[in-house]
Structure 1
Amino acid sequence: MVLVGYVYRWLTTRQIGDETLRLAGWMFTGILVFGGSGVLVILYQRLLGGVFLRSTYSVLGWATGGIVIGLIVGIYDVARRISMREMVEALARAERLSEQLRVYNRVLRHDVRTAANITAGYADLVLESPASQAKSVEVINQQMDRIVRLTDQSRKIANLHRHSGDSDESFDFTDEIERRVAEIETEFPAVEVYLSLPTPPVAVTTPSLTIAFGELLRNAVEHNTNSTPEIEVLLTRDEDELTLRVEDNGPGTPQAEIDVLDAGYETQLEHSDGTGLWLVKWIVDELDGDLTFENDARSTVTIAVPTATV
């Protein structure tokens, strides 16, 4: 009874998931080994001419002992595997945090400083040459918008791990996509966005996926040099995977940026533009998904995540 109480408490306090079958396997192995040993002992005694009273009860006793030993060994084995898995996850999380710190460092030292220097330079130009005031103010506004966008992306990155668990409450992801598209079309009237969304709507529990889509959509708009920007958004879902594809008629993502994201680190000579794609990458990594880029006739970015994680 003490063992049963301990096992019950252990099962309710540890999330063993698929390891339940492994624990059951150890119990079954204990029954076979000890129960079989009991049968062999009885057969051996009978071969020697001995009489073994209540042999059935004896075999059951041996099998019960096997269950006890199997539980003890199984709990140790499962606990060890869970600890190893948690350690691997902790190491992966530490690597992502280190990666984020390096990107933070680059944003603060390079991107923000560069934007501030450009702003200061054009501010001086306004004072020295009033004739160029209109152009200078336009550039200053662009750099201020860039700084605001960088700090907003940095805030989202800072909150990414804080809210990595998301919530158990589901929401309509297709509705969020339509809302983000409406915001972009209001901000950039020249942009044409074509949606291909499934019916019925897709429900998810990961708000971070909406952030990733918003970054991809804005990236497709702001880096599109076509006079008539066109963006196509395709969302599909099956039993195993949720796929989100953002396709546009722009120049595509530079291979240098893709290489930096694949490498997982930045240098002073090789770094991505801003933090938007890093934010998307980290969200996809948190969801155990894949982020792919295609630069053929059109530029395509695809997010594919297991449905179990969203």
Structure 2
Amino acid sequence: MTGAALGDVLYGFTGAVLGVSDIYPGVVALAGLITAGLTVVGVQYRDVPGGEWFAATMGLSNVWIAGALVTVLSSNRTALVLAEIVMTGCSLVVPVAWTAFVITYVGLDWMSQSWRLAALFVPPLVGIAAIAATPLTKLYFADVAVVHRPDGISVVSTPPGILAWLVLAYVFVLLVVGLVLIARLILLRGLFSRQASWLLIGTMPPFVTVMLEPAGVVGEEHLPLAPIGFALMGLAYGYGLFYHRLFDLSPGTWRLGTGVAFEGLSEGLVIVDTHGDVLGCNRSACERFGWERSTVFGRNIAEFDAQLSGAIGRSEPTEFRMDGQWYEVNSSPITDARDREVGHVLVIRDVTERHERRQQLEVLNRALRHNLRNDMMVVSSRAQALEDRYDDPMARTIVDTATDIVEMADKARAVEESLRETEGETQDVDVGPFLGRLIENVCGGDQDAPVAIDVEPGLSVRTDESLLMIVVANLVENAIEHGIRDGMDADRAPVRISADRVLDGVAIEVADDGPGIPQSELDVIERGTETPTSHGRGIGLWLVTWGATRLNADVTFDTDDGTTARLVVPDR
């Protein structure tokens, strides 16, 4: 079947179903109303990426439709020819405006500059100039003739010239590029895939109907099918606008924001492929290492920074020193849709202040934990000797105070040793025997220790046992120290430890009947900082909090009736 015969079949089918000559003006008018409404919407969203070009595309489409309406409502030769010229010009400009809309909508930043978008219109404008010069040249229209159809409607026949084919080929390429950009959004399978799907669905009807005549499927003597395509496009675009937030959630804003974040981060970012060749770097990386982008792009990173090269692919952060500064590098793999590794992102942070702070803390910790502890032990032994010789209560006070300082120093050592490593070794912990060992350690093997344990048989949790021991031991020590007092209920132990299975692990509770932890101390822990006027009495609660964080556990305190500390430890 020839293209013209297929066109006759299409029009025969359309005429049989719709009665084209009768319904066509109504279809064109409906398409005009829809595109006019979408033009208004585009103007309202003109500040959103793609909004202005969407309005321009819909507005020009409306002009195109107006020309089609003239072809069915007028038989004046001049009016018909002018309408044909308008429709042909719009058929060249609308696809370019639509492509500009897609480019800005998806956030193709390098093409979104005004002069580049304007350059896209040069070939269509050349075509429009050739159309205007048709009486003098046949570059675009080989001929212009009015054809009278049997149903009384007159149409203009304009066989294309060589320039028409060239410009149409250019427009076709732009349409394909725009469709590819939309399809890429769909393949992302994320927030914008539904929006892109309706853009693609809406674009296909006018794209197909416009190409029917150049492809020879529809003859020039037939009425233009483009308005019908625009009507379907408007319905699809409208659905995308109102049901999938076409402009409320703009991929252009997301893409542009990603670019701004990439450039604006204080951390250095370097993108390399699987061979280590540099594909991109942000401003911070260039300034930090004295690079020029034009000189590093495409070169292997090992050529100008062996330490960064050595960090590629490592699962743990890498630290190195350069020019008196300390840097930490994290390497993250880049994978494609098939989960194949195609490169790496290197994130470079200046951690000089962290190193200096760590060094200062190590020195202070050594002075407080070692020097001060040893001196306090000397003070304690001398004060004990004085008490034994003279039975002086002031000597007893000195001994108690020195003992408290030594115990605090021991806790500081436990904090340093327990929290030094990034990740402790996990193992299955049988909670019952674990708590038995803990009480023996805390109470020094005292069989009459004022502690009761209630544990579900066979209860276990997979976690870091040594760190869990420190956390729970501090809770128990605090309960024993502050929860035992005269006049207490003799029928129950002053300190009670219970453990039960919960949804995501094990809950351990340590309860006492003491006065309760002061709210001021809990406020300090919740706030996360201490001040000279707002601080705790020691480091026990801090150790519990830090340890719980490392265990990914939650710790809460109920002080309404005594103190109940609840530690929920997840399986790891």
Same fold, judged at TM 0.5 (above): yes
- State the 1:170 CA deviation: 2.9
- State the 1:275 CA deviation: 0.8
Structure number with the higher helix fraction is 1
User: Quick one: structure 1 residues 170 and 49, their matched pair in 2 at CA, closer, same or farther if it must change by over 3 Å?
Assistant: farther
Please state if 1:233 is matched with 2:491: no
Question: After superposition, what is the alpha-carbon deviation per residue over 1:27-54, rounded to whole angstroms, capped at 9, x for unaligned?
Answer: 99269999xx9xx8xx96997589xxxx
User: Quick one: structure 1 residues 123 and 287, their matched pair in 2 at CA, closer, same or farther if it must change by over 3 Å?
Assistant: closer
The number of residue pairs the alignment matches comes to: 243
Show the counterpart of 1:217: 476
Show the counterpart of 2:427: 169
2:398 and 2:565 map into 1 onto residues whose CA distance is 31
**Contact persistence 1:191–1:230 (CA under 8 A):** no
**Contact persistence 1:235–1:244 (CA under 8 A):** yes
Question: After superposition, what is the alpha-carbon deviation per residue over 1:58-83, rounded to whole angstroms, capped at 9, x for unaligned?
Answer: xxxxxxxxxxxx9279889x977xx8
Runs of 5+ consecutive residues of structure 1 not aligned to the other structure: 1-25, 51-69
Identity of aligned pairs, percent?
A: 24
Show the counterpart of 2:464: 206
Show the counterpart of 2:549: 285
Question: After superposition, what is the alpha-carbon deviation per residue over 1:270-309, rounded to whole angstroms, capped at 9, x for unaligned?
Answer: 22121111000011122333221111223111112433xx
Show the counterpart of 1:303: 567
**Contact persistence 1:225–1:251 (CA under 8 A):** no
Question: After superposition, what is the alpha-carbon deviation per residue over 1:146-202, rounded to whole angstroms, capped at 9, x for unaligned?
Answer: 122111111121123323411143332332211112334446666421112122131
Show the counterpart of 1:264: 528
User: Quick one: structure 1 residues 175 and 267, their matched pair in 2 at CA, closer, same or farther if it must change by over 3 Å?
Assistant: same
Partner amino acid for 1:170? D
Aligned equivalent of 2:517, options 250, 253, 256: 253
**Contact persistence 1:212–1:283 (CA under 8 A):** yes
User: Quick one: structure 1 residues 187 and 250, their matched pair in 2 at CA, closer, same or farther if it must change by over 3 Å?
Assistant: farther
Higher relative contact order (CA 8 A, sep 6+): 1
Please state if 1:243 is matched with 2:507: yes
Q: How does 1:1-310 map to 2 (within 5 A)?
A: 29=187, 48=215, 71=336, 108=368, 123=383, 126=386, 131-133=390-392, 135-186=393-444, 191-207=449-465, 208-227=467-486, 230-307=494-571, 310=572
User: Quick one: structure 1 residues 225 and 269, their matched pair in 2 at CA, closer, same or farther if it must change by over 3 Å?
Assistant: farther
**Contact persistence 2:461–2:505 (CA under 8 A):** no
User: Quick one: structure 1 residues 266 and 75, their matched pair in 2 at CA, closer, same or farther if it must change by over 3 Å?
Assistant: farther
- SS across alignment from 2:336: helix
Runs of 5+ consecutive residues of structure 2 not aligned to the other structure: 1-183, 218-334
**Contact persistence 1:248–1:298 (CA under 8 A):** yes
- SS across alignment from 2:510: strand
Show the counterpart of 1:17: none
Partner amino acid for 2:409? T
User: Quick one: structure 1 residues 155 and 186, their matched pair in 2 at CA, closer, same or farther if it must change by over 3 Å?
Assistant: closer
1:124 and 1:280 map into 2 onto residues whose CA distance is 32
**Contact persistence 2:554–2:567 (CA under 8 A):** yes
- State the 1:221 CA deviation: 0.7
- State the 1:252 CA deviation: 1.0
**Contact persistence 2:459–2:501 (CA under 8 A):** no
User: Quick one: structure 1 residues 187 and 254, their matched pair in 2 at CA, closer, same or farther if it must change by over 3 Å?
Assistant: farther
1:277 and 1:209 map into 2 onto residues whose CA distance is 14
**Contact persistence 1:170–1:203 (CA under 8 A):** yes
1:178 and 1:124 map into 2 onto residues whose CA distance is 33
- SS across alignment from 2:427: coil
Partner amino acid for 1:202? S
Question: After superposition, what is the alpha-carbon deviation per residue over 1:196-241, rounded to whole angstroms, capped at 9, x for unaligned?
Answer: 2122131323121121000000011112341366111111223324
**Contact persistence 1:27–1:74 (CA under 8 A):** no
**Contact persistence 1:125–1:136 (CA under 8 A):** no
- SS across alignment from 1:149: helix
Aligned Cα RMSD in Å?
Answer: 4.8
User: Quick one: structure 1 residues 304 and 124, their matched pair in 2 at CA, closer, same or farther if it must change by over 3 Å?
Assistant: closer
- SS across alignment from 1:268: coil
Show the counterpart of 1:4: none
TM-score, normalised with respect to structure 2: 0.35
User: Quick one: structure 1 residues 231 and 74, their matched pair in 2 at CA, closer, same or farther if it must change by over 3 Å?
Assistant: same
2:442 and 2:541 map into 1 onto residues whose CA distance is 18
User: Quick one: structure 1 residues 140 and 190, their matched pair in 2 at CA, closer, same or farther if it must change by over 3 Å?
Assistant: farther
**Contact persistence 2:456–2:500 (CA under 8 A):** yes
